[in-house]
C-alpha cells in the first residue's frame, strides 16, 4: 500500500512519484518511473512484481534502481517472518543479478496506527521491529541497502495523526507519504552515486560506523532513518544520512498537469 500510495488522490503524491521528481532534481536529468506495487500485497507477491518489472525490458535495460517498501501486511496477516524474509531476499537477489541497485524501506511501525489499542499496539510495534531487523540482514546479504522507516515515522505519525494519516486512519496521508519519501531519498541518491563522496565516510559524532550485520540491523530497527549497506564479509556500514528536502509540489508537477489543474 505504501509503495502504491494507497489513500492519496493524485499520482504525484505517491512515494514513487515524489522520489522520481526529487531524483530528477538532484541528477538534473529526466527520470522514468515504473510502479508495479499492489495495495494489500504481502512479500509473497514480490516474485510477480519483479517478474513484471524485468519482463517489460530486455535484461540489459533493467531499471537503474528499485525501491521496495514491504512488511506491514506481512505482520497484520501473520505471515511467518522467515517466509516473509525469504521472499524479500529472493526478490533482491533477482534485481541485483539484473544489474539493478536496490533500496528497501523496511517494515514500518504498526504501533503508530491510531485505532490500534494496547496491548495490541505494543505487540504490533515489537513484531514490526523484529521483521525490519530480519529484512535488513537479508537485503544487505544480497547486496542491497535498507532504510528503516519504523521508528522514524512512528513518533511523527503518533504526534500528528490528523496530518500524517489518511481518512481511514490507517494509510498515510499525502504528508505522511512525503515524510517516508524524504527518509528514503538520501539512500536512493547514494545508491546511484549522486551523493557527495565525503558523506560516504562514517561520522562517529553521528554514531555511524562499520558493525557486524546483525548488530547494524538491530540498531537500524531501533532508530528510524538509518541506512545499512553491506560491506565485505559479515560487516555493514550504518549511517544516519541527513534528509534532503523534496521539491515543492509546483516544481514536482509536470507542466501539462499544472496547466490542466489551472483550467
Q: Which CATH architecture has domain 11-262?
A: 3-Layer(aba) Sandwich (3.40)
Whether the per-residue pLDDT at 6 is higher than 80: the answer is no
Give the pLDDT confidence score for residue 143 in this predicted structure. Answer: 94
Q: Which of 250, 252, 231 is nearest to 25 (CA)?
A: 252
Annotated active-site residue 256? The verdict is: no
Give the pLDDT confidence score for residue 199 in this predicted structure. Answer: 65
**Cα distance from N-terminal residue to C-terminal residue, the chain:** 31
Annotated active-site residue 1? The verdict is: yes
Question: For residues 132 and 156, what is the distance between their CA atoms, to the nearest angstrom?
Answer: 18
| pTM score, whole prediction | 0.81
Using a CB cutoff of 8 Å and minimum separation of 24, what contacts does 199-202 make? 199/241, 202/237, 202/238, 202/239
Cell of 78: 501473520
Give domain limits for the chain. 11-262
pLDDT bucket at 49, cuts 50 / 70 / 90: very high
Sign of CA dihedral 173, 179, 183, 186: positive
Whether the per-residue pLDDT at 58 is higher than 60: the answer is no
Give the pLDDT confidence score for residue 259 in this predicted structure. Answer: 43
Higher pLDDT: 169 or 147? It is 147
Of 9, 55, 60, 168, catalytic = 168
Q: Which of 80, 233, 71, 217 is nearest to 136 (CA)?
A: 217
What percentage of the chain reaches a pLDDT higher than 90?
35
Q: Taking a C-beta distance cutoff of 8 angstroms, is the pair 236, 210 a contact?
A: yes
φ/ψ of 66, rounded to 5, equals -125, 130
What mean pLDDT is predicted for residues 242-258? 53
Annotated active-site residue 168? The verdict is: yes
* Each residue's pLDDT tens digit, 126-142: 888 899 999 999 999 99
Of 1, 158, 199, 240, catalytic = 1
What mean pLDDT is predicted for residues 1-8? 78
Give the pLDDT confidence score for residue 252 in this predicted structure. Answer: 47
Q: Which of 173, 167, 134 is nearest to 153 (CA)?
A: 173
Helix, strand, coil share of the chain (percent; to 5): 55, 10, 35
What mean pLDDT is predicted for residues 115-121? 63
Helix (H, G, I), strand (E, B) or coil at 236: strand
| Residue 161 CB-half CA count within 13 A | 11
Of 74, 151, 171, 173, catalytic = 171
Question: For residues 219 and 238, what is the distance between their CA atoms, to the nearest angstrom?
Answer: 9
φ/ψ of 227, rounded to 5, equals -100, 140
Comparing 17-21, 167-171, 201-205, which segment has the lowest mean pLDDT?
167-171
* Each residue's pLDDT tens digit, 172-225: 677 777 888 888 999 999 999 987 665 667 777 778 889 999 999 988 887 877
Q: Which helix (H) or strand (E) holds 230?
A: strand 227-230
Burial of 160 (0-12, 13-18, 19+ CB in 10 A): middle
Q: Which of 181, 158, 164 is nearest to 67 (CA)?
A: 181
Amino acid at each position: 500500500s505504501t509503495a502504491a500510495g494507497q489513500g492519496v488522490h493524485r499520482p504525484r503524491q505517491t512515494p514513487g512519484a515524489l522520489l522520481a521528481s526529487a531524483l530528477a532534481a538532484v541528477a538534473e536529468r529526466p527520470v522514468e518511473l515504473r510502479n508495479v506495487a499492489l495495495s494489500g500485497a504481502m512479500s509473497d507477491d514480490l516474485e510477480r512484481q519483479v517478474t513484471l518489472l524485468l519482463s517489460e525490458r530486455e535484461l540489459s535495460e533493467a531499471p537503474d534502481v528499485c525501491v521496495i517498501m514491504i512488511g506491514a501486511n506481512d505482520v497484520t496477516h501473520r505471515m511467518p517472518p522467515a517466509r516473509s524474509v525469504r521472499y524479500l531476499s529472493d526478490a533482491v537477489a533477482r534485481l541485483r543479478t539484473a544489474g539493478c541497485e536496490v533500496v528497501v524501506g523496511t517494515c514500518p511501525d504498526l504501533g503508530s496506527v491510531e485505532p490500534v489499542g494496547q496491548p495490541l499496539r505494543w505487540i504490533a510495534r515489537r513484531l514490526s521491529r523484529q521483521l525490519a531487523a530480519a529484512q535488513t540482514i537479508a537485503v544487505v546479504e544480497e547486496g542491497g541497502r535498507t532504510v528503516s522507516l519504523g521508528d522514524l515515522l512512528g513518533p511523527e505519525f503518533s504526534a500528528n495523526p490528523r496530518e500524517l494519516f489518511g481518512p481511514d486512519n490507517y494509510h498515510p496521508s499525502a504528508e505522511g507519504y512525503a515524510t517516508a519519501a524524504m527518509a528514503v531519498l538520501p539512500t536512493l541518491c547514494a545508491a546511484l552515486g549522486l551523493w557527495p563522496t565525503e558523506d560516504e565516510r562514517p561520522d562517529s559524532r553521528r554514531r555511524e560506523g562499520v558493525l557486524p550485520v546483525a548488530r547494524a540491523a538491530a540498531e537500524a530497527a531501533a532508530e528510524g532513518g538509518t541506512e545499512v549497506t553491506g560491506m565485505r564479509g559479515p560487516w555493514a556500514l550504518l549511517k544516519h544520512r541527513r534528509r534532503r528536502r523534496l521539491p515543492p509540489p509546483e516544481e514536482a508537477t509536470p507542466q501539462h498537469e499544472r496547466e490542466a489543474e489551472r483550467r
